[in-house]
Amino acid sequence: MTTTVQFGPYLAATDLAISSRAVVGPKGSIQLADLPALAKVAPFSTLDPSVTEPLRLKEGGASSVTVWTKSGNAEALTQVTFAEFDNKLSRNMGILRVDTLRATVASAVAATGNAQLTIVVQSAQEAFAAGLAAARNWPTFDKKSGKKAADRTVYIDFHVTNGEQVNFAEIQAVANGIRNTQRYVDMPPADFNTIHFVAEAKRVAESLNALPNKAGNVSIEVIQGEELRDRGFGGLWGVGKAGEYPPALVILTYEPTTETSKTVALVGKGIVFDCGGLSLKPSTAMCGMKTDMGGAGAVFGAFQAIVSAGLTNTKVHALLCLAENAIDSKSFRNDDVLVHYSGKSTEVNNTDAEGRLVLADGVAYATKHLNPDAVIDIATLTGAQLITTGKIHAGIVSRTESAEAAMLAAGKVTGDVCFPMLYAPDLLLAEFKSEIADLTNNVKNRMNAQSSCAGHFVEAHLAEEYKGEWVHVDIAGPSADAKTRGTGFGAALLYQYVKNF
């Protein structure tokens, strides 16, 4: 079964074959007698008086209730679920508890059949975060066999208590980008290798250029296989040359038709599967490594959202650094020295610290040739990120407080929350000291802010003449959930950063 998620104004039951409805809001928001807008979902005249009091879902009472009601003149009964989520917020949790909202929506919306979901929010800004959180509940990739339920649509609207108008088109564009990112992360590496990823990028570029009323043009360049080696991309070629399918650097560009003086480059780590290379992971740590392309997935999803929403304030480059870290007679080795596109050399002392090697080439290319005002790199880079900022918050490293603040603000608005990590290259780059190369690729002391160290490794490959903003985003924790399903984390974050830039 495939679930389509469609945002728009409320649709009456007579408009569509809707078999269930759900109303979700923060605790204390769902009291039928005080919220006339909810009467559109469950008119008082059709409700048994005995259910009126339970519907008040007051503090300390039930958190959800399900009733069956008639809508209008329809003969069939419609399932209606009212549910509230805990919205207690600490200062690092954004404008809405998107984690509890998402879980509440998952349980409140019926599993099959067309459904209408109304989310109670206080503002249009909250509606944006709430809609994106809700949309993550229905990932699109599934290879299960057997009889499946019919495809269905979940229609989502909002009751905004301050009366602000909701930009449904923007929410739809960003939600689609998130759900596409989820799909890319969920797909097994046999179905989404580097060749597939490149083909998908070409297909999407063509479809974006075919959008009606588009606000700009999309172009694509692919540097692939031995061309990477010949043009000096030693990190990307070194990591990916042993894979069955060739590594690639994909450069997607969106240029608005209206003149703009600003340019942002988004660079994503796209390791389609990571066995660790010759520094082989144990089997218990290898399952789930299809998700190691979550950074490239986020960049790709954000790019689609930016173009589909018609942002015109910034020219955008999306760089996808694609490779498989595999074992073969051609595998790069510990003790090898790789020469990057930046011109700097890296002595390999851990082939399982490969993500930074491909990102290094990506940011070097961006800052040498694309003239960006900001470079954002994003990756499932270090397990230490979870220790540093947890499972929900991405860890960010930035050379300026202004860029750090902008990324934190984008996270709070979208629900892709972040928290800053230490920025101290003067202290931490010493962890990569090599006797024979400019850097090693792994820290000497794993107890010395290693997630920040990894960010500084990438930063070291920015062009020396580059003076713009730079933010490193480590999404090792939030990119997948406890079931190893992609969350789409990062797509909305990057979209909002670009929108606000």
Q: Which active-site residues does the annotation give?
A: 281, 356
Give Cβ neighbours of residue 350 (< 8 Å, ≥ 6 apart): 279, 334, 441, 442
Q: Largest Cα–Cα distance of the chain, in whole Å? A: 81
Q: Phi and psi (nearest 5°) for 79? A: -75, 130
- Asked if 347 and 440 count as a contact pair (C-beta separation under 8 A), the reply is yes
CA angle 90, 94, 95 (to 5 degrees): 100
Query: Which is it for strands 394-398 and 469-474: parallel, antiparallel or unpaired?
Result: antiparallel
Q: What number of CA atoms fall less than 13 Å from residue 83's CA on the CB side?
A: 20
CA angle 103, 108, 112 (to 5 degrees): 110
As beta bridge partners, residue 69 has 78
Alpha-carbon distance 201 to 213, whole Å? Answer: 21
Q: What is the DSSP string of 68-104?
A: EEE-TT-SSEEEEEEEEE-----TTS-SS-HHHHHHH
Q: Which two tokens stand for residue 332?
A: 């790069």
Query: Which is it for strands 315-325 and 263-274: parallel, antiparallel or unpaired?
Result: parallel
CA dihedral 73, 74, 79, 85 (to 10 degrees): -40
Residue-wise burial string across 237-264, b where 16 or more C-beta atoms lie within 10 A, e elsewhere: bbbbbbbebbbbbbbbbbbbeeeeeebb
